[in-house]
Amino acid sequence: MKENWQQQLQSLLNCDLKTLYPLARSLNRKLEFYVGPTNSGKTYNAMQKLKEANSGLYLAPLRLLALEGYEDLKASNIQASLITGEEQMLNEDAAHVCSTIEMLDFDLDVDVAVIDEVQMLDDADRGWAWVNAIIGCPAKKIIMTGSVNALDAVKRIATYLDEDLEIVKHQRKNELKVLPKWTPLEKLEDGTALIAFSRRDVLQLKQKLQKKYTVSVIYGNLSPEVRRDEAQRFREKKSQILIATDAIAMGLNLPIKTILFTTDTKFDGISKRKITVNEIVQIAGRAGRYGHFEAGYLGATRRDVLDHVRLEFESPIKTIKPPFKVKINNNQLEALAAHIKTNSLTKVLKFFADNMYFSGPFIAANISSMLEAAKIVDTRFNLKLEDKYLLAQAPITTKSTIILQAYEAYIASVIKKKVCHYKPSITLPKKAITQRDLLLVEDEVKKISLYLWLSYKIPELFPDHDKAYILRNSFNSFIEKSLKGNLIEEDSSKKPFTKPFPRRENETKESTNHKKDYRPRRRKTI
């Protein structure tokens, strides 16, 4: 009996990914890789092929890009549906679907699928979604777009799949030049984008520069809608200067003439380090948009930063190396949990990461964001494992008190099978005074995104999709208005604006705070 148990476990721990996607295997697929730098027209050409197809998919890395793909198809009089984790615009007559890559339907076969930004398969937390899409997308023709550092990776996966791969190389349409001298902040030209690597630095630069220039800002904590509005202001020349994090490195087509790095270091979630050649090339490629400028320019606002940027820019691109990360699926989760006799999601995820073996150039992913969420859901002993797994995939950040409080309340609703209505945690003032004020509203928008995600996954418990969607629009409008004004950096010596989030071992109800101010409200329900 023991031997049989061991044999069964070993069978579970050996996986051939090809076998998980029978529909894709039945289609005799052809793979194409449109490879080239930014500003080479690869995504444009891929979208033209998609438009010519009778049916198709556009798989985007961001909700903003999925929306842009959707609008592009509609502008070409092609009926389409939009599916993301937060919204669905379904058209029963449409044969084309634009979606974020995690929302790919592996049971919907089409003629052509475009997998955008395929170099993202190297991303620590989300790379699995690109791996799954390349292997399992049910399309007769798969068109991948991405940078040259992903070429060897795509070749390795194609070899594993034993599928034909055509490489279509694209060249940048205009020249990208490194400036010979650093550029002072007092001498910026219109159409310049300044690159920082934190929200704080972006807002500090905005505060400093808006005395002389009109400014737009883009950073990761902003919702896609606000990023789009800020990009539109810059595109329409309502602002002279764009200040952004590396959030502009993917997807946003902007009339940038010059990209200037304000620093050569960034915090990558683990430590502060120098930016790499791959990061510099991806960001710098946004300069000199074809059709607007004869050339693009790359530089820095400090001499030492320019020296590093120039050295890295002239270095060879670093190729993505195998193995490529794969996430656990529902069947593997349930089977492994049964064999190791646990209801702990954390234990199953770690067991999977430590013991799973895959045929081909793959390895089990140890996804840090999912593990953080798993530790929270594992404190609820009366929560089913399948529900834990679903909730652990929700879009949360453990850095936000507002979101963590909401997440705890939403978990409680799932346990009790009790309908959870959306209620905002803050009351909007007339305007944001400090950067911290603005951050609270940004976090509220992320909380709305969490609720919207749950409203699609568990609609019977989270029915207020329309209400949350409307509120998100009002919060986004407030953020956009605030970004046009002055924001002071709050004195760090002051007491925190919110109380620290309590670590709760068991379910507790939130205390009620009915004060009509800008502070997060503690409510019995959210």
Q: 404 and 493, same structural domain?
A: yes
Q: State the Cα–Cα distance between residues 41 and 289, nearest whole angstrom.
A: 10
Percent of the chain with pLDDT over 70: 92
The answer to the question of residue 20 being in a domain is: yes
Distances (CA, A) of 338 to 2, 259, 419: 15, 54, 30
| 366-389 tens-digit pLDDT | 888 899 999 999 999 889 999 999
Nearest-angstrom CA–CA distance, 341 and 108: 35
Q: What's the mean pLDDT when you consider all of the chain?
A: 89
pLDDT at residue 250, rounded to an integer: 72
Chosen domain end from 120, 140, 169: 169
Which tokens go with 490?
A: 């709050």
Structural domain span for residue 31:
2-169
Q: What is the pTM of this model?
A: 0.88
* Listed residues 108, 141, 169: the one ending a domain: 169
Is the residue at 48 inside a domain?
yes
Contact 115, 85 (CB under 8 A): no
Token code pair at residue 368: 């840090």
pLDDT at 3 over 60: no
Residues 43 and 105 in one domain: yes
Least confident of 47-51, 284-288, 328-332, 519-523: 519-523
Q: Say if residue 111 is in the same domain as residue 186.
A: no
> Position 154: which residue type?
V
CATH of the domain at 54: 3.40.50.300
Q: State the average pLDDT over residues 63-86.
A: 94
Q: Are residues 14 and 135 in the same domain?
A: yes
Report if residue 413 sits inside a domain: yes
* Per-residue pLDDT band at 11 (split at 50, 70, 90): confident
More confident position, 483 or 495 = 483
Residues 436 and 467 in one domain: yes
Q: What is the pLDDT of residues 143-195, one digit of tens each?
A: 999 999 999 999 999 999 999 999 999 999 899 999 999 999 999 999 999 99
Q: What values do phi and psi take at 57, rounded to 5?
A: -130, 140
Q: How confident is the model at residue 268 (pLDDT cuts 50, 70, 90)?
A: confident
CA distances from residue 78 to 17, 53, 92, 381 in whole angstroms, order as listed? 34, 10, 13, 49
Whether residue 137 is found in the same domain as residue 269: no
Output b/e per residue, 329-349; b: 16+ Cβ within 10 A.
eeebbebbbebeeeebbbbbb
Residues 165 and 248 in one domain: no
By 3-state DSSP, what share of the chain in percent is helix, strand and coil, each rounded to 5? 40, 15, 40
Same domain, 465 and 523: yes
Looking at 289, 313, 337, the residue that finishes a domain is: 313
* CATH code: domain of residue 455: 1.20.58.1080
Question: Phi first, then psi: what are they for 261, rounded to 5°?
Answer: -80, 130
Query: Does 380 reside within a domain?
Result: no
* 145 and 191 assigned to the same domain: no
Q: Looking at the structure, tell me whether residues 430 and 449 fall in a common domain.
A: yes
> According to the model, what pLDDT value does residue 381 have?
84
Residue 332 lies in a domain: no
Q: Is residue 362 part of a domain?
A: no
Residues 22 and 164 in one domain: yes
Mean per-residue pLDDT, 427-431: 82
Classify residue 443: in a domain, yes or no.
Answer: yes
Regarding whether 496 and 406 lie in a shared domain, the answer is yes
CB 180: neighbour CB atoms within 10 A?
A: 8
pLDDT in tens, 215-253: 999 998 999 899 999 999 999 999 999 999 988 877 677
Number of domains in the chain: 3
Q: Quick check: 507 pLDDT over 80? A: no
8 A C-beta contact, residue 84 and residue 453: no
Residue 387 lies in a domain: no
74-97 mean pLDDT: 95
